[in-house]
């Protein structure tokens, strides 16, 4: 049984990013109807040396200091897009992986022939599959093309160190649905 929470209050996001990241596990993210349940997220905050916001606002990270519940999209390594949801000022949750469930045909068009477990198993892959780009930077997640849907299911959640960073490596702010085959990497 599913209940729509398309209008998640900004108070849901205007909290510590680690709390939001944990609670977003299992919530379905759609972009123009394409997406599925979130299975992997990471938290970053203002006091965190691994965070883009650590040294204050810049043109690139300005969305991180904007309204909670809006998107922060940035280009990484000159190639890939990464999608975040803004939480407390200067903090955000990086959307790293989801279970491909809706719009598989569109995902395959964008990602090519690909086993399902690799369609959205990483932040860059997920943005390609859902067609998220800089055009989405700053947009609210409670309005089209975005949608967030909660389920009544509960999930076993595991946490551990974040991926791909060189600072703050011991902060266990990566949250995954335990045992999911759709993660960017197994939790360990």
Partner DNA sequence: AGGATGATTGCCT
Partner DNA sequence: GGCAATCATCCTC
Binding site for DNA (CB under 7 A): 42, 44, 50-53, 55, 58-60, 64, 72, 75-80, 82, 84, 92, 94, 111, 118, 121-126, 162-167, 184
Q: CA-CA distance, 75 to 150, in Å (whole number)?
A: 28
Closer by beta carbon to DNA, 66 or else 124: 124
Contacts of 123 (CB under 8 A, 6+ apart): 76, 80, 82, 83, 94, 95, 96, 97, 184
Check: CB of residue 51 under 8 Å from CB of residue 44. yes
Q: What is the DSSP secondary-structure string of 135-151?
A: GGTT-BTTSTTEEEEEE
DSSP bridge pairs for 80: 76
Closer by beta carbon to DNA, 8 or else 163: 163
Check: CB of residue 165 under 8 Å from CB of residue 50. yes
Closer by beta carbon to DNA, 95 or else 158: 95
Minimal distance, residue 152 CB to DNA, in Å: 29
The CA–CA distances, whole Å, from 18 to 28, 52, 86, 162 equal 18, 16, 12, 12
The values of phi and psi at residue 36, to 5°, are: 165, -175
Closer by beta carbon to DNA, 64 or else 158: 64
């Amino acid at each position: 049984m599913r209940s729509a929470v398309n209008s998640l209050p900004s108070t849901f996001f205007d909290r510590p990013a680690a709390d939001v990241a944990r609670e977003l596990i299992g919530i379905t993210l759609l972009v123009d109807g394409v997406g599925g349940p979130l299975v992997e997220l990471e938290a970053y905050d203002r006091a965190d040396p691994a965070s883009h916001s650590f040294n204050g606002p810049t043109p690139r990270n300005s969305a991180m200091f904007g309204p909670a519940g809006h998107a922060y999209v940035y280009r990484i390594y000159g190639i890939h897009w990464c999608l975040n949801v803004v939480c407390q000022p200067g903090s955000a949750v990086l959307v790293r992986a989801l279970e491909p469930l809706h719009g598989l045909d569109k995902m395959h068009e964008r990602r090519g022939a690909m086993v399902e477990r690799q369609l959205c198993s990483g932040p860059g892959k997920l943005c390609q599959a859902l067609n998220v780009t800089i055009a989405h930077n700053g947009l609210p997640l409670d309005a089209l093309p975005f949608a967030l849907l909660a389920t009544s299911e509960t999930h076993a959640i595991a946490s551990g160190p974040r991926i791909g960073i060189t600072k703050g490596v011991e902060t266990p702010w990566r949250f995954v649905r335990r045992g999911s085959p759709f993660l960017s990497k197994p939790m360990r």
